[in-house]
Structure 1
Amino acid sequence: MSLNMVKLCVGAEEIGDLEAWQKRLMRSYPQPVHHTRMVPKQVDELLDGGSIYWVIKGLIQVRQKITDIRVMADRNGRKACELVLDPEIVLVEPTPKRPFQGWRYLKPDEAPADIKRDSKAEEIPPSLHAKLKEAMVW
């Protein structure tokens, strides 16, 4: 069974900030990568079709498929990992998420649904979309 990860996109004000950050990274790497201090215990499940869901400004807004997880040592010799991500950033239904540290597992049935490209939902600002969804209007 696949498993997902949810992580705060620290420093990003909008999805474009994440895209710009990853474009800069891809000057040095063939695919976007994200370094984290903790190594997931459920690597096989994450690599079985799992994605990282990014929280931007208190909302889960996008996801990227995890293509590889590389265990490595940090500067102090402790275990760390590098998440290798698919470059495609997929919009998802904006879903509120409270602040937390590190990352959390996210079961597939708890993950926000993808937003289809060229849909009207793509044009609505994520914060408004989340409020409409919360009010059961959307």
Structure 2
Amino acid sequence: MDKSVNLVKLCVGVDSLDDLIAWRAHRKEVERNYLCRHVTRMWPKREAELLNGGSLYWVFRGVIGARQRILRLDEVIGQDGIRRCGIVMDEEIIRTQPAPRRPFQGWRYLPQADAPADLDQRSDASDLPPELSAALAEIGIR
């Protein structure tokens, strides 16, 4: 049976999805060989499941708000000589239904059954302030 799993990760240093989009656009503009990836210290043990249709779900200010499809995992050797995992993602950022998340370090696995649904990309519902989206999600309205 083919299985798929996702990762969920705090988007540290970025307050909103718009900030992430702007930051990625800037990096793409200034880096010659831009690669949409996130480097993390640990290598996921469930690599095969991640590469079987998994996504990285981003948490902004305590709420999952977007995802990016995971394409592959690259070995990245840091300046300190330590092996790290480069999570290479599709450049498309897909908005999701808001889903509250408590703070955590690193990343966590997120089963497909627990992943928030994608928002209609034409919808303006995602334009709600993050605090309102979080409050609505917390009480189960969104």
Per the normalisation by structure 2, the TM-score is: 0.87
Q: Report which stretch shifted further, 78-87 or 125-134.
A: 125-134
1:9-67 Cα distance to aligned partner (Å, 9 max, x none): 00111111111221233242344111111111111111111000000111111000011
SS state of the match for residue 134, structure 2? helix
Measure, in 2, the Cα distance between the counterparts of 1:137 and 1:59: 14
Counterpart of 1:38 (choices 42, 45, 53) is 42
User: What is the Cα deviation at residue 92 of structure 1?
Assistant: 0.5
Contact 1:31/1:86 (<8 A) preserved: no
The number of residue pairs the alignment matches comes to: 138
Contact 1:90/1:114 (<8 A) preserved: yes
Measure, in 1, the Cα distance between the counterparts of 2:129 and 2:85: 33
Measure, in 2, the Cα distance between the counterparts of 1:123 and 1:25: 24
User: What are structure 1's unaligned runs of at least 5 residues?
Assistant: none
Measure, in 1, the Cα distance between the counterparts of 2:83 and 2:44: 11
Report what 2:23 is aligned to.
Answer: 21
1:8 aligns with 2:26: no
C-alpha RMSD over aligned residues: 1.7
Measure, in 2, the Cα distance between the counterparts of 1:16 and 1:50: 23
AA in 2 matched with 1:101: Q
User: What are structure 2's unaligned runs of at least 5 residues?
Assistant: none
Per the normalisation by structure 1, the TM-score is: 0.90
